[in-house]
Amino acid sequence: MIHTDGLTKTFGATEKALTAVDRLSLDVAEGEVFGFLGPNGAGKTTTVRMLTALIGPTAGSARLNGYTLGQDDAAIRQSVGLLTETPGMYDRLSAEKNLTIYAQLYGVPDVAGQVRKYLTMLGLWERRQDEAGSFSKGMRQKLALARALLHEPRLLFLDEPTSGLDPEAAKLVRDFIAELKGEGRTIFLCTHNLDEADRLCDRIAIFKTRLITVDSPVNIRQRLYGRRVVVHLGQAANDLTAVAQTLPFVKSVEAVDNKLVVALDNPEADDPALIRALVEQGAAIQFVGELRHSLEDVYLRLIDEHNAPSAPPVA
């Protein structure tokens, strides 16, 4: 669905050139929700503007929906949907009129039907005659999302779709994204909301001018931290560390008060044997859980490593 090879964008004269995107190479599969994460100024919006054929790259290439960037730009713009972080509307026109104009520009066959469909799906049908300028930020965001979907694009770019929304509006937008994924649409999601990315995305890219890593949130966590289970005990844990260390699949053990923190490669397979060995030695096990690092922990660690003077090579 998306393939980029060395995509680069530089702004300014040669002697003072600013590289916003540096040799970006990635692939996004059809039907995937792909998170594109990075700090402000990392080049995320510039990347989206290139991929939607709004600006041209300085170097490199890309293909989207079977079209080649730089050759089929009109077809790319026609075939994708785009929700920008600060979407503009015709504020003095009604919500219905706004969408009607854009549906006509996209050449939508059933303009009225599509406008009604998405205003209804996003809870705006009863406000269809109200001026867009009278809408709250959340309502404007939903209207902009409807605009991005009028022509039924299979590939959708969302730049901070829940930024500044109240919890109820943000949940509606997230649920709608999940529904679009269920329809098989491909979604390229730029967001600072890491919990949102963790819940919605099949894979994420962490990016700061250049690509730092790409993988599923689960795989990145495991690569950085491994997997650790926490055994909560009704007694001090120190006396049981030696028991856990005798098991061949245990990588490390740490006693913290009445808890054992045990590193394992495959907790699903190894937990029963670990628990059995501890119980045989008299352990009063209360419950067992997995220690799970947040996506924020992962993101901050990778950005810090990237910023370090001896930053590792691109993963």
The residue extents of the domains of the chain are 2-215, 226-291
Nearest alpha-carbon partner for 21 in 48, 46, 2: 46
Instruction: Give the predicted TM-score (pTM) of the model.
Output: 0.85
> Would you tell me the crossing angle of helices 137-149 and 111-121 to the nearest 10 degrees?
140
- CATH assignment of 2-215, among 3.30.70.1060, 3.40.50.300, 3.40.190.10, 1.10.8.10: 3.40.50.300
What percentage of residues in the chain have a pLDDT greater than 90?
Answer: 57
Any alpha helices (H) in 155-210, and if so which ranges? Answer: 167-182, 194-200
pLDDT in tens, 265-306: 888 899 999 999 999 988 889 999 988 888 999 999 999 999
pLDDT in tens, 181-201: 888 899 999 988 898 899 999
Task: Report the SS3 class of residue 310.
Answer: coil
- Compute the chain's Rg from CA coordinates: 24
pLDDT in tens, 229-267: 999 988 887 878 888 899 999 988 988 888 989 988 888
Residue 113 and residue 125 in contact, taking contact as beta carbons nearer than 8 Å: no
pLDDT in tens, 4-39: 999 999 998 777 889 999 999 999 999 999 999 999
Please report the pLDDT score of residue 310 as a whole number. Answer: 59
In whole angstroms, give the CA distance from residue 302 to residue 26: 18
> Would you tell me the crossing angle of helices 167-182 and 137-149 to the nearest 10 degrees?
10
| Class of CATH domain 226-291 | alpha beta
